[in-house]
């Protein structure tokens, strides 16, 4: 190592510049104020899409990105509960201002209806609402706009694919075969809709006993990773079953905020880093590189 005369210490300031996803194809105009739209979906309900979407968004923000969240679950908006938000939306005279929490810009149908109000709409109205969430909201300087998709593989993903260029989709699965089968279908659907797969996250992957540290594979082991390998898509990571994740969802303080140094939060952060890497690769319009991580 060579010393530099007159220099006793060096401060290195690291910064990151997130590139914009290539878009504007197929008549879909890229979104002002947004560099990359990331969809979080699954083939099944209740596997933890919203939990993963919210914690990923916070993990991306924690590493310096500016991040927004669209709650695309119009009929069952859960994002406001998970982020502990009760808010009335305002406008700047022209556009709807997104609500803000934990540094995230957020929009949800939950801000427009009462907590228990049923939302009974026909399909085209749903498409209209989604369009508005993208186009009529004043998104500002976002590196990532994370879209929490509703359960099922249908109309919202189709609507999304027709509305904006999507950098890619993350599919959340649990390890058991019934969830994996549905995840394969979800992956195939994104492919059909020309939404690149960013990868698979296996949620509720294992239970680490807080008393003895023993890890139990309640829903089986290795399914998500195996499926990723089969489909040639990246495996972004495993998130354990962890009681504070559920508690944080219910109380509106997500794990990345309440226990940022816990192993489960670190799993979210690692998955977010891998997803961000895949977004960068996608933004260069190169094919994705399958990643494998070992627990
Ligand atoms: N890794 C985890 N550990 C513990 N609890 C979890 C975990 N992931 C999700 N949960 C809990 O499981 C429940 C379902 O999660 P969530 O609402 O995120 O699923 P979803 O796939 O978005 O559901 P829906 O299909 O209804 O939109 C929530 O109570 C959440 O707190
Ligand atoms: Mg959900």
Q: Which of 47, 48, 216, 217 to mutate to test the pocket of ligand 1 (most atoms within 8 A of CB)?
A: 48
**What pLDDT shows up at residue 245?**
97
Per residue in 134-146, pLDDT tens? 999 999 999 999 9
Per residue in 33-47, pLDDT tens? 999 999 999 988 999
In the predicted structure, residue 100 carries a pLDDT above the cut 60? yes
Residues with CB under 6 A from ligand 1: 42, 45-51, 73, 76, 78, 150-151, 203-204, 239, 241-242, 245-246, 249
**What pLDDT shows up at residue 214?**
85
**What pLDDT shows up at residue 288?**
44
**What pLDDT shows up at residue 281?**
86
For residue 155, name the pLDDT band (cuts at 50, 70, 90). Answer: confident
For residue 148, name the pLDDT band (cuts at 50, 70, 90). Answer: very high
Q: Which of 41, 43, 46, 51 to mutate to test the pocket of ligand 1 (most atoms within 8 A of CB)?
A: 51
Q: Which of 116, 117, 38, 44 is nearest to 279 (CA)?
A: 38
Euclidean distance between CA atoms 54 and 69, whole angstroms:
8
Name the least confident of 61-65, 115-119, 196-200, 229-233.
115-119
Q: Quickly tell me which residue has 């109205």 as its tokens.
A: 125
Ligand 2 centre and the CA of 242: distance in Å?
Answer: 18
**What pLDDT shows up at residue 286?**
43
Angle (deg, nearest 10), helices 263-283 and 49-62: 80
Ligand 2 centre and the CA of 8: distance in Å?
Answer: 53
Higher pLDDT, 1 or 277: 277
Averaged pLDDT of the chain = 88
Per residue in 82-94, pLDDT tens? 999 998 889 999 9
For residue 153, name the pLDDT band (cuts at 50, 70, 90). Answer: low
Can you read off the two tokens belonging to residue 127?
A: 């498409």
**What pLDDT shows up at residue 287?**
45
Name the least confident of 89-98, 118-127, 147-156, 218-227.
118-127
* pLDDT over 70 percentage in the chain: 89
Q: What is the 3-state secondary structure (H, E, C) of the chain?
A: CCCCCCCCCCCCCCCCCCCCCCCCHHHCCCCCCEEEEEEEECCCCCCCHHHHHHHHHHHHHHCCCCEEEEECCCCCCCHHHHCCCCCCCEECCCCEECEEECCEEEEEHHHCCCCCCCCCCCHHHHHHHHHHHHHCECCCCEEEEEEECCCCCCHHHHHHHHHCCCCEEEEEECCCHHHHHHHHHHHHHHHHCCCCEEEEEECCCCEECCCCCCEECCCCCCHHHHHHHHHCCCEEEECCECHHHHHHHHHCCCHHHHCCCCHHHHHHHHHHHHHHHHHHHHHCCCCCCCCCCCC
What is the arithmetic mean of pLDDT over 205-228? 86
In the predicted structure, residue 201 carries a pLDDT above the cut 70? yes
């Amino acid at each position: 190592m060579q010393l530099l005369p007159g220099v006793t210490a060096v401060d290195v300031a690291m910064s990151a510049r997130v590139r914009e996803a290539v878009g504007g194809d197929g008549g879909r105009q890229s979104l002002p104020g947004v560099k990359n739209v990331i969809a979080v979906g699954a083939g099944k309900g209740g596997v933890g899409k919203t939990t993963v979407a919210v914690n990923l968004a916070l993990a991306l923000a924690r590493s310096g990105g500016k991040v927004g969240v669209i709650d695309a679950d119009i009929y069952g908006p859960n994002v406001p509960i998970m982020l502990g938000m009760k808010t009335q939306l305002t406008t700047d005279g022209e556009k709807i201002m997104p609500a803000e929490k934990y540094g995230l810009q957020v929009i949800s149908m939950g801000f427009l209806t009462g907590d228990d109000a049923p939302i009974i709409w026909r399909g085209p109205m749903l498409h209209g609402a989604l369009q508005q969430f993208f186009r009529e909201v004043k998104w500002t300087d976002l590196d990532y706009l994370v879209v929490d998709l509703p359960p099922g593989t249908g109309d919202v993903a189709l609507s999304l694919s027709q509305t904006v260029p999507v950098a890619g989709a993350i599919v959340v699965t649990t390890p058991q075969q019934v969830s994996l089968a549905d995840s394969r279908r979800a992956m195939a659907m994104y492919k059909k809709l020309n939404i690149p797969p960013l990868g698979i996250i296996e949620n509720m992957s294992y239970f680490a006993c807080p008393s003895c540290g023993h890890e139990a594979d309640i829903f089986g082991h290795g399914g998500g990773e195996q499926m990723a390998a089969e489909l040639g898509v990246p495996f972004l990571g495993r998130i354990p079953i962890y009681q504070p994740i559920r508690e944080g969802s219910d109380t509106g303080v997500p794990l990345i905020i309440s226990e940022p140094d816990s192993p489960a939060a670190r799993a979210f952060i690692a998955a977010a880093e891998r997803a961000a890497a895949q977004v960068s690769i996608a933004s260069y319009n190169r094919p994705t590189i399958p990643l494998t991580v070992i627990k």
